[in-house]
């Protein structure tokens, strides 16, 4: 199949097409409008908070929700997913913003978008099936810890300009600064967090994020009026537009179209741009991998909630195109957000139109309410992200895994968690997947066994000679098990003249298993021991045929059944 037909088979806008083909009327549109408005209200403060946590000004989070949220919903393969900035990316994006600025962040996002499109074209949508749950749970819990740690500074109002790069150094800096805790900021943060926790119990249709940040903003206004000076978005951030207009907080204008390396009147030289792009390749790969995992995990969970099925490769295509376009408007990395997507479905969403409405709600709020959004206090933003981090950590599920899962799964989880917090998320996922694979291989290899069945009732009825041995091999004959199995077989066989290998329990043989079998047959031939191989399954038989392993007169032979092997003349 050509790449062109391959891309065509991905069905861009799969979710939207599927929804519209079922019949789209005014009732469904009304439910989409309601859901889009609800999720849009959630996304406004959350998008700003996540942009700040990622090391950039809050408007870039809004740009991401607007452009990414609309485009990915339009082109993707998951009906209810809401895309925008997410907490999972903070641990990757924050170091990039610190080291390369906004230009590096936008460039890495665009490169990740290209990789996501390539993954879709290569039909890698089932990638999520190869990531073991302990790995996913480990790195998400680790990311949650990193996010929560980054919010402590604003939550407590500590006078720290920036936190060190390493996690232990962050903790040390926070502990050192604790005596300078700002009571007013802490009060605003606690009030916001309390509202976030209590509001859902009131069972109102209004999402808790809006009243929570409103409570925080009113408290901050009161404190600021009385001279306590709680930092807000307007006091922390300022903007300068290309037309010379400047101000505090968020610019009340539409996101402008520009190359990532040519924003705010500054153009990066091609040589410097190339060097930056090369240095960002590992980061772009990490963003693409995490974006694929996050979006597909979200789609799988939504499928379980709704009974629908998403198109994995179409979703990757939508995510890829969205992340290629978002940086052109100043947006940072976007992917599907499970909490917002679940809220979208629970609010009555019927199609991706709800997600597109959510993007338009954020756009309207940015243009109309930009001045008022500047009053949102930084401690309230930190409290919002603290709750996001807690929900993301899935602490109850992690504790259950530690208590009940096999030791190998616990080891993988703790390794991924520790590496995410202390080293790097890319290292954590890589090591976690490799470790999980190695432990799994070890367990599968231990299941491959050889048993002496010479004296079993089925064999003894044939009354084989005393110098015969019948051995049953069970399990996969692959590189991790084959050498051990044939070493055990040689020890069990001893000095017997004829060996019958009953292999109906061997479903798979790889190159390692083939090499071990050939080595065993060669040693038996040298020792003058005849080998009869009985009841091969299709895959091992095909492997032997392809390798040209044929019967050898006086050395070894193949038999269709165990009965034939036992009855054949010596």
Q: What is the pLDDT of residues 485-528, one digit of tens each?
A: 999 999 998 889 999 999 999 999 999 999 999 999 999 999 99
Please indicate whether residue 552 or residue 240 has the higher confidence score (pLDDT): 552
Q: What percent of the chain has pLDDT over 70?
A: 96
> Six-digit token pair at 400?
């259950």
> Six-digit token pair at 512?
């390692």
pLDDT higher than threshold 90 for residue 530: yes
CA distances from 356 to 28, 260, 277, 280, 569 (A): 14, 24, 31, 31, 77
- CB of 379 within 8 A of CB of 189? yes
Task: Taking residues 305-333, report their average pLDDT.
Answer: 92
| pLDDT band, residue 124 (cuts 50/70/90) | confident
Sequential DSSP letters for 407-451: HHHHHHHHHHHHHHHHT-HHHHHHHHHHHHHHHHHHHHHHT-EEE
CA distance 345 to 295: 16
CA distance 483 to 468: 23
CA distance 409 to 439: 9
pLDDT higher than threshold 70 for residue 570: no
The rounded mean pLDDT for the chain is 89
| pLDDT band, residue 2 (cuts 50/70/90) | very low
CA distance 263 to 189: 34
pLDDT value for 105: 93
Distance linking the first and last C-alpha atoms of the chain = 53
Question: Rounded to the nearest 5 degrees, what angle is found at the Cα of 130, between the Cα atoms of 128 and 135?
Answer: 85
Q: Based on C-alpha coordinates, what's the Rg of the chain?
A: 31
Range of weakest confidence among 105-119, 257-271, 319-333, 523-537: 257-271
Chain centroid to Cα 343, Å, comes to: 20
pLDDT value for 264: 63
CA distance 290 to 286: 6
pLDDT tens digits along 15-33:
999 999 888 899 999 999 9
- CB of 342 within 8 A of CB of 306? no
CA atoms within 13 A on the CB side of 446: 6
pLDDT value for 253: 83
Enumerate helices (H) and strands (E) in the chain, giving the number of each. Answer: 26, 9
Give the sign of the dihedral formed by CA 77, CA 79, CA 81, CA 82: positive
CA distance 377 to 355: 27
CA distance 447 to 466: 29
CA distance 337 to 82: 6
Q: Which helix (H) or strand (E) holds 83?
A: strand 83-84
Which of 423, 415, 328 minimizes the C-alpha distance to 92?
423
- Residue entry with tokens 């204008």: 253
Which of 330, 294, 331 minimizes the C-alpha distance to 315?
294
pLDDT higher than threshold 60 for residue 6: no
pLDDT value for 266: 63
pLDDT tens digits along 352-369:
999 999 999 999 999 898
pLDDT higher than threshold 60 for residue 349: yes
pLDDT value for 511: 95
- 3-class SS of residue 533: strand
CA distances from 147 to 51, 157, 329 (A): 12, 16, 26
pLDDT higher than threshold 90 for residue 161: no
- Residue entry with tokens 């404190």: 223
> Six-digit token pair at 448?
């491959």
- Name residue 474's beta-bridge partners: 449, 505
Q: What percent of the chain has pLDDT over 90?
A: 56
């Amino acid at each position: 199949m050509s790449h062109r037909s391959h891309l065509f088979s991905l069905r861009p806008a799969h979710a939207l097409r599927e929804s519209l083909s079922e019949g789209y009327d005014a009732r469904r549109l009304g439910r989409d409008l309601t859901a889009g408005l609800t999720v849009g209200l959630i996304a406004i403060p959350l998008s700003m908070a996540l942009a700040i946590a990622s090391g950039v000004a809050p408007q870039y989070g809004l740009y991401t929700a607007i452009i990414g949220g609309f485009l990915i919903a339009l082109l993707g393969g998951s009906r209810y997913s809401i895309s925008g900035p997410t907490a999972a990316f903070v641990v990757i994006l924050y170091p990039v913003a610190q080291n390369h600025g906004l230009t590096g962040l936008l460039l890495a996002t665009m490169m990740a978008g290209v990789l996501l499109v390539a993954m879709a074209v290569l039909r890698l949508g089932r990638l999520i099936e190869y990531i073991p749950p302990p790995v996913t749970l480990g790195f998400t819990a680790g990311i949650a810890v990193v996010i929560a740690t980054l919010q402590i500074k604003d939550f407590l109002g500590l006078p720290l300009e920036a936190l060190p790069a390493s996690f232990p150094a962050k903790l040390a800096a926070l502990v050192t600064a604790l005596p300078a805790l700002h009571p007013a900021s802490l009060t605003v943060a606690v009030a916001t967090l309390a509202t976030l926790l209590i509001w859902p119990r009131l069972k109102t249709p209004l999402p808790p994020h809006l009243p929570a940040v409103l409570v925080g903003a009113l408290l901050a206004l009161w404190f600021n009026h009385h001279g306590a000076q709680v930092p807000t978005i307007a006091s922390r951030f300022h903007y300068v537009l290309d037309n010379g207009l400047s101000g505090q907080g968020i610019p009340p204008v539409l996101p402008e179209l520009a190359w990532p390396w040519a924003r705010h009147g500054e153009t990066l030289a091609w040589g410097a741009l190339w060097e930056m792009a090369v240095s960002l390749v590992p980061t772009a790969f990490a963003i693409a991998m995490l974006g694929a995992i996050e979006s597909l995990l979200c789609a799988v969970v939504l499928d379980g909630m709704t009974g629908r099925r998403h198109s994995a490769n179409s979703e990757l295509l939508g995510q890829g195109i969205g992340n290629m376009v978002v940086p052109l408007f100043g947006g940072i990395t976007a992917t599907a957000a499970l909490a917002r997507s679940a809220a979208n479905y629970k609010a009555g969403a019927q199609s991706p139109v709800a997600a597109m409405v959510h993007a338009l709600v954020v756009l309207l709020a940015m243009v109309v309410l930009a001045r008022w959004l500047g009053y949102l206090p930084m401690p309230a933003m930190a409290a919002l992200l603290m709750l996001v981090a807690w929900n993301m950590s899935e602490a109850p599920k992690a504790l259950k895994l530690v208590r009940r899962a096999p030791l190998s799964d616990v080891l993988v989880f703790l390794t991924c968690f520790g590496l995410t917090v202390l080293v790097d998320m890319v290292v954590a996922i890589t090591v976690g997947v490799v470790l999980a694979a190695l432990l799994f291989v070890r367990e599968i290899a231990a299941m491959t066994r050889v048993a002496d069945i010479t004296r079993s009732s089925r064999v003894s009825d044939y009354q084989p000679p005393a110098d015969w041995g019948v051995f049953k091999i069970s399990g996969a004959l692959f590189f991790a098990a084959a050498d051990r199995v044939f070493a055990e077989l040689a020890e069990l066989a001893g000095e017997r003249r004829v060996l019958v290998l009953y292999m109906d329990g061997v479903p798979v043989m790889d190159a390692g298993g083939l090499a071990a079998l050939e080595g065993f047959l060669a040693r038996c031939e040298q020792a003058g021991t005849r080998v009869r191989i009985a009841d091969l399954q299709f895959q091992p038989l095909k492997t032997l045929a392809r390798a040209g392993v044929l019967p050898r007169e006086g050395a070894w032979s193949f038999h269709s059944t165990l009965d034939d092997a036992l009855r054949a003349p010596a």
